[in-house]
Amino acid sequence: MNIFIQTLQTEFEENANSKIALEQKAYMRNQFEYYGIKTPKRREITKPFLNKKFLPKKSDLESYVKILWQKPQRDYHYFAQELAFKYTKELDKKDIELFEFMVTHNSWWDTVDFIAPKLISAYFKTYPKERDTYIKRWIASENIWLQRSALLFQLKDKEKIDTNLLTFVIHSLINSKIGSKEFFINKAIGWILREYSKTNPDWVVNFAQTNDLSNLSRREALRLIKK
């Protein structure tokens, strides 16, 4: 494990750019440190580490992710979630605990918006009986990032989206003390409705017209609808 992460650290350090790092840090409201490596370059650097023959054992994934997730540079967090994505065909029932950890630590939209539609979505497809229990728990948690995950895990489901569940989640959040006023929740409501409008615009128009959405949510939901 040490060699794998130390080698990754060496690659990041050798490609660091302090000017870009300051720009990236400012864009994320100074919440995280950065090496100053732009996404295409970071993916080029990390590609060998994600090669199947060099991947850690699945049983070690949690340890790797948590070590990477606790490092100050955001670059490690991006790599950790991409590493976890490599194992979505080998998910264990307990992996949802790791995904919750990732959502609730060093939380911000950039990682949650990867974890929810890619990792959590894959998990609920593998363990569908776990879905409703966790969604209800996240809605009640008052953690906006878990709540955002409850919305966005269906983001790419197109015609397979569970509109009954989506309706339940949105209603629960717009009627909650936090969700009804929270930018990141209202933005996510609009985002998933806008995404679904590509598949079922009539449903989205009707939903937006018959529910008490925030102006932000409604505007985002209807952005792609032809007038």
Span 83-126, pLDDT tens digits: 999 999 999 999 999 999 999 999 999 999 999 999 999 999 99
Is 178's pLDDT higher than 80?
A: no
Is 42's pLDDT higher than 80?
A: yes
Is 9's pLDDT higher than 70?
A: yes
* Average pLDDT rounded to a whole number, residues 158-186: 91
pLDDT, averaged across the chain: 96
| Structure confidence at residue 1 as a pLDDT band (50, 70, 90) | low
Site of tokens 């950039």: 110
Q: Please tell me the predicted confidence (pLDDT) of residue 226.
A: 78
Handedness of CA 156, 146, 65, 70 (dihedral sign): positive
- Region for residue 198 given its phi and psi (left: phi exceeds 0; alpha: psi -120 to 50; beta: otherwise): alpha
Q: How many residues does the structure list for the chain?
A: 227
| Structure confidence at residue 176 as a pLDDT band (50, 70, 90) | confident
Distance CA 207, CA 214 (A): 13
User: 146, 221, 159, 222: which is closest to 190 by C-alpha?
Assistant: 221
Distance CA 142, CA 165 (A): 18
| Structure confidence at residue 25 as a pLDDT band (50, 70, 90) | very high
Write out pLDDT tens, residues 194-215: 999 999 999 999 999 999 999 9
